[in-house]
């Protein structure tokens, strides 16, 4: 059983849902050495999240952003955590709903995602900085 762990710094992006599958795999040549295993990806932030969903049609990502903005609106009178701006508390709530990690099977040196699946960086802040993810790979060597 092999273990590998790496922190990857993601570029700063605007608020929204962004595909990062190719960016991650490009920085993980170690995947090629795993025949059967798991990749666990964890984001080290409380106002962004990770998800797996549709990777072909960009309107899906636009609809995600629209839906979450409707479901968790800014400037609610009951928000008390407001010092960092009107997008901060909604960003924490969205991150809690979506989650801080995803786990993906590794098969024959590749992430074993479905045909239309990709990994999203879900950025919930208007002016976010770069984000960091921790990727842990575990599996049997090729």
CA distance 99 to 50: 6
CA distance 10 to 102: 16
The pLDDT of residue 39 is: 98
Domain boundaries, given as residue ranges, for the chain = 2-141
CATH no., domain 2-141: 2.60.120.460
The pLDDT of residue 95 is: 98
Average pLDDT, consecutive stretches of 10 residues, N- to C-terminus, the chain (142 residues): 94 97 98 97 98 97 98 97 96 98 98 98 96 98 82
Q: Which of 20, 16, 120 is nearest to 68 (CA)?
A: 16
Residue position matching structure tokens 């960016």? 23
3-state SS, one letter per residue, for 36-48: EEEEEEEECCCCE
């Amino acid at each position: 059983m092999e273990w590998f762990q790496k922190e990857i710094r993601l570029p700063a992006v605007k608020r929204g849902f962004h595909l990062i599958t190719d960016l991650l795999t490009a920085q993980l040549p170690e995947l090629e050495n795993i025949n059967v295993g798991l990749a666990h990806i964890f984001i080290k932030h409380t106002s962004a999240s990770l998800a797996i969903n549709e990777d072909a049609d960009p309107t899906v990502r636009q609809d995600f952003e629209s839906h979450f903005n409707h479901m968790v609106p800014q400037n609610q009178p009951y928000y008390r955590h407001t010092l960092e701006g009107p997008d901060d508390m909604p960003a924490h709530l969205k991150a809690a709903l979506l989650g801080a990690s995803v786990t993906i099977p590794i098969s024959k040196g590749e992430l074993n995602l479905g045909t239309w699946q990709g990994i999203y960086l879900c950025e919930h802040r208007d002016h976010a900085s770069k984000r960091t993810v921790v990727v842990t790979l575990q599996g049997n060597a090729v």
